[in-house]
Amino acid sequence: MQSIKKLKNIEGKIALVRVDFNVPIKNDKVEDDFRIKKAIPTIKFLQNKGAKIVLISHLGKGLSASGTSGESLLPVGIALNKFIKAKFVPNIFGKIACDAIFNMKNKDVILLENLRNDKGEQSLNKNFAKNLSKLADFYVNEAFSVSHRKDSSIVLLPKLLDSYAGLQLEEEVKNLSLVFKKPKKPFLFILGGAKFSTKMPLIQKYLKSADNVFIGGALANNFLKAKGFEIGKSLVSDSKGIEKILKNNSPLHKAMDGQGKLILPIDVVVSSKNKFINKKVSEIKKNETILDIGKESIKMIEPYIKKSKLILWNGPLGKYESGGDVATKKIIKILVLQSNTKTIIGGGDLVSVLSKLESKNYKLKPNLFVSTGGGATLDFLVNGTLPGIKALG
């Protein structure tokens, strides 16, 4: 994989930059511009070298089964102009797009329409990729968060042009790779969120390579249930494979009582008749719902955070949308304000909690790396690479 930092003599050359501007839009307004912001350094880098920049992205699901166009990237084009002067072009291959590209001056930026409005994007279509390649002189992948998808602009297009990794993509690979090979020790993995089956490969992998694995979020419900605790009406997903994990790793239930790897919450916050109650995991009643991990569990993790040299955290520790955000915010605070440990944070939901806090209160220190991927980050953390990254090699 070659970095764009290696690029020379690109003045007047056309860069086709695959970005992930698949951002939430409501009433024609971009609600969260985190991903747009993250692509700006690469755009500016290419601009400073005098290139012409053509941005391509998907948005939403694109074409419907009956062939009607999906969402337009126009609102994104407007949001992008808060950061950089850019022109939105409402098609990909039509005359408007061709004319716009032909008339570009050095350092100009244009954003083409939603790639998924062409069915070629998601059908590994060689012709589609070929037509895209004709628009430019070289290709840049600055779309880490879609690089787990075998979409034409991600895996076929880089084979047809000289291809480079954008600055954020390079940072993602550099930082996420810290957990592979020889991670710094002690290495703590904190895992929350929901849907046991999607997180199971991570649990298995990091029970091998991390020194401690703390499980929170709805995933902890799966474990507590499998251990025979009453979990009331709490959310649980399919727990296939959990017995084997528990057989090979007897979980810790008390702070620091040995060298056990797997650590489960010792208390939780439940909602019961609209009240939030902190209680031991052994005291949950049938009509209660676990929303968050409890105070004692947070205290239990703190010393692990202090002694670790590397921390990986994926997934929120509670149902943060409905008041179960206390533990997640507390741990973020510890990591942001008190810790200098190299910490990698990933997962769409966890990152959205963090970026809301960041915009209000916090300035992130360089020891914290926040991954832009959701599914892509999970896949990278399991496999150490992604189809879109392989295609750059």
Which residues lie near ligand ADP (CB under 6 A)?
192-195, 217-218, 235, 290-291, 314-316, 318-321, 324, 347-350, 374
CA separation, residue 142 to residues 112, 217, 312 (Å): 15, 31, 23
Q: Does 325 bind Mg ion (CB under 5 A)?
A: no
Q: Catalytic: which of 49, 195, 227, 233? A: 195
First to last CA, the chain: 5
- Catalytic (active site) residue 166: no
Pick the closest to residue 265 from 215, 321, 315, 310 (CA basis): 215
Q: Which amino acid is at 184?
A: K
- Catalytic (active site) residue 18: no
Nearer to ligand ADP, 92 or 317 (CB): 317
Q: Catalytic: which of 280, 348, 356, 384? A: 348
Q: Return d(Cα 257, Cα 252) in angstroms, integer.
A: 7
Nearer to ligand ADP, 192 or 388 (CB): 192
345 strand-pairing partners: 313, 370
- Catalytic (active site) residue 195: yes
3 strand-pairing partners: 165
Q: Return d(Cα 262, Cα 66) in angstroms, integer.
A: 49
Nearer to ligand ADP, 4 or 331 (CB): 331
**Partner in contact with 75, chosen from Mg ion, ligand ADP, none, beta carbon below 5 to 8 Å by kind:** none
Q: Does 379 bind Mg ion (CB under 5 A)?
A: no
Q: Give, as one character, the DSSP assignment of residue 115.
A: G
Nearer to ligand ADP, 120 or 216 (CB): 216
Cα angle value 336/338/344 (rounded, 5°):
45
**Partner in contact with 294, chosen from Mg ion, ligand ADP, none, beta carbon below 5 to 8 Å by kind:** none
The structure tokens 């912001």 sit at 37
Q: Return d(Cα 212, Cα 205) in angstroms, integer.
A: 12
**What residues between 331 and 370 interact with Mg ion by CB under 5 A?**
348-349
Q: Does 211 bind Mg ion (CB under 5 A)?
A: no
Nearer to ligand ADP, 7 or 327 (CB): 327
Q: For the beta carbon of residue 83, count every other beta carbon within 10 angstroms.
A: 14
**Partner in contact with 218, chosen from ligand ADP, Mg ion, none, beta carbon below 5 to 8 Å by kind:** ligand ADP
* Rounded least distance, CB 22 to ligand ADP, Å: 15
Q: Catalytic: which of 18, 35, 205, 319? A: 35
Sheet holding 289-293, edge to edge: 275-280, 267-272, 289-293
Pick the closest to residue 55 from 152, 123, 148, 141 (CA basis): 141
- Catalytic (active site) residue 375: yes
Mind telling me the catalytic residues? 35, 195, 348, 375
